Chain A
């Protein structure tokens, strides 16, 4: 157990990097995902196709492949991504945005068509029916899957460990290479830090889900 206490500063540093990766990529992918979702429901067909292609491609690509592309392949196009934190943020954002867009789109589609028709029938404008009728209802069914997307993002930040970012898994690997005999205990320490993020988020997601289910 001493090895956990002795290396607490390293763990903490790794934890902070994981949190920063999650936070920055979360915000960027949320913005990008909302734009993609808006494109996917827009009346302009090429934009719809663009967003659909992006989502389909990125959802069926391993995250490792996205990292691989930006770090090893993109330089051949003359785009040199600095190895490290911000490249990881870009990769995670590009990847997660596809899942955000999908969650938002299915949320919008889950609102009954009758709701929109009724709001148009009583004379609400497009903005009013979107802002007062559709989005408030869509939001309820979007929040639980969105939290799950961010839980997945938290876990996905670990992939950055393979590409020169020393976050939780990376620092766990580093510590256990210094203390080969205690690798299991060291990795359990890493696991505890992850669970400290993912389990509370999961509880929130299922609570929200239950609340939404009651109000329907």
Chain B
């Protein structure tokens, strides 16, 4: 693993490492056991702290609780993310293409937009929508997520374009493709493909940031947890939080894993097809920006 720092261990070092691992593991286990013992002493594991998940009080059924969290809470989170993600992908593509324009005064606005929105907190953009423009919480959340992530995606695509060998563009010009054709049929498909892991990682960020909706009053997953906690009593916060955090972790970690897998293996054939579709479907919206 850490061969950069150490030589491959010999028998003595291996034995020492094994003992270190055992002792370190025991200390770690001891700390965890102490924590569990302490939590147990406070009744954290009592059924009366967890029954909200399977047999909630106050005449509610477990189905009500789960519906409020999964259907309404997670549903609202995913709805905001699913509207914002395609929007920021398309707008990011537009900005990235706009940035490749030849003349500085044509591409200056694109650079300004990218730098501006990259440097501002997403939450501030949501407040712009909510307080500044008087939009609904949902629109404000989507607006905040979109303007920030489109700037980042534009930067990712630019890095992808910059990473391509010059020969790609030269060869495309040599066979007589126009500048627009070169960009959309030769350069962008490759850039999207190489940058796919970063793009997916950015979608994880987008999904995480949708939780900021909690602050601007959008009824998403965290808000539904808080509502349940307030209704059933503070003692249930632990159980409800475990469910909420679990949902976020499952969704985000599986997306991250997908990104890592894409990064490791070269993408050929089937997995790359969606990326191609995306790059080819976009020109209809993106072409106006590219003509100087």
| Also in contact, A183 and B237, with CB within 8 A (given A65-B222, A76-B44, A202-B115) | no
Smallest Cβ-Cβ distance to B3: which chain A residue: A113
Smallest Cβ-Cβ distance to A162: which chain B residue: B215
Q: B121, A202: Cβ atoms under 8 Å?
A: no
A111 at the interface (CB under 8 A from B): yes
Q: A44, B42: Cβ atoms under 8 Å?
A: no
B132 at the interface (CB under 8 A from A): yes
Q: Considering the complex, which residues of chain A in the window 36-85 have a beta carbon less than 8 Å from any beta carbon of chain B?
A: 41-48, 50, 56-57, 59-65, 68-69, 72-73, 75-78
Most chain A CB inside 10 Å of its own CB: which residue of B119, B120, B132, B238: B119
Q: B4, A169: Cβ atoms under 8 Å?
A: no
Interface size in chain B (residues, C-beta < 8 A): 58
Q: Residues of B contacting A42 with CB < 8 Å?
A: 2
| Also in contact, A156 and B229, with CB within 8 A (given A60-B248, A73-B237, A116-B5) | no
Q: Residues of B contacting A68 with CB < 8 Å?
A: 214, 222, 225-226, 241
Q: A194, B215: Cβ atoms under 8 Å?
A: no
Q: Residues of B contacting A41 with CB < 8 Å?
A: 2, 4-5
Q: B133, A72: Cβ atoms under 8 Å?
A: no
CA distance A169 to B125 in the complex (A): 10
Q: Residues of B contacting A198 with CB < 8 Å?
A: 118-120
CA distance A189 to B207 in the complex (A): 28
B234 at the interface (CB under 8 A from A): yes
Q: A155, B237: Cβ atoms under 8 Å?
A: no
Q: Considering the complex, which residues of chain B in the window 6-43 have a beta carbon less than 8 Å from any beta carbon of chain A?
A: 6-7, 9, 13, 17, 20-21, 24-25, 28, 38-39, 42
Q: A60, B44: Cβ atoms under 8 Å?
A: no
**Bitwise interface map of B from 178 to 191 toward A, beta carbon under 8 Å scored 1, else 0:** 00000000000000
Q: B248, A76: Cβ atoms under 8 Å?
A: no
Indicate which residue in B1, B121, B245 contacts A65 across the interface (CB closer than 8 Å).
B245
Q: B24, A44: Cβ atoms under 8 Å?
A: yes
B244 at the interface (CB under 8 A from A): yes
Q: Which candidate, B62-70, B167-175, B249-257, is the interface stretch facing chain A?
A: B249-257
B212 at the interface (CB under 8 A from A): yes
CB distance from A5 to the nearest CB of B (A): 19
Most chain B CB inside 10 Å of its own CB: which residue of A65, A161, A172: A65
Smallest Cβ-Cβ distance to B235: which chain A residue: A76
Smallest Cβ-Cβ distance to B43: which chain A residue: A76
CA distance A111 to B4 in the complex (A): 8
CB distance from B143 to the nearest CB of A (A): 13
Q: Considering the complex, which residues of chain A in the window 83-104 have a beta carbon less than 8 Å from any beta carbon of chain B?
A: none
B258 at the interface (CB under 8 A from A): no
A124 at the interface (CB under 8 A from B): no
Q: Residues of A contacting B4 with CB < 8 Å?
A: 41, 108-109, 111, 113, 116, 134
Q: How many A-B residue pairs have CB under 8 A?
A: 166
B128 at the interface (CB under 8 A from A): yes
Q: B17, A44: Cβ atoms under 8 Å?
A: yes
| Also in contact, A65 and B248, with CB within 8 A (given A56-B253, A194-B124) | yes
CA distance A108 to B6 in the complex (A): 13
Q: B133, A184: Cβ atoms under 8 Å?
A: yes
Q: Residues of B contacting A168 with CB < 8 Å?
A: 124
Q: Residues of A contacting B256 with CB < 8 Å?
A: 59-60
CA distance A130 to B238 in the complex (A): 44
A158 at the interface (CB under 8 A from B): yes
Indicate which residue in A45, A57, A162 contacts B123 across the interface (CB closer than 8 Å).
A162
- Identify 20 residue pairs between A and B in the complex whose beta-carbon atoms are under 8 Å apart, listed by A's number: A43-B13, A43-B17, A43-B20, A44-B17, A61-B245, A61-B248, A65-B222, A65-B245, A68-B241, A72-B234, A72-B241, A73-B238, A77-B44, A108-B5, A158-B121, A161-B123, A168-B124, A169-B124, A177-B131, A195-B116
Using a CB–CB cutoff of 8 Å, the interface residues on chain A facing chain B are 41-48, 50, 56-57, 59-65, 68-69, 72-73, 75-78, 108-109, 111, 113, 116, 120, 126, 130, 134, 151, 155-159, 161-162, 168-169, 172-173, 176-177, 180, 183-184, 187, 190-191, 194-195, 198-199, 202
Using a CB–CB cutoff of 8 Å, the interface residues on chain B facing chain A are 1-7, 9, 13, 17, 20-21, 24-25, 28, 38-39, 42, 44, 49, 115-116, 118-124, 127-128, 131-133, 204, 208-212, 214-215, 222, 225-226, 229, 234-235, 237-238, 241, 244-245, 248-249, 252-253, 256
**Which 9 pairs across A and B sit closest by C-beta, in order of nearness?**
A162-B215, A198-B119, A62-B211, A158-B121, A60-B252, A46-B25, A155-B121, A184-B132, A62-B208
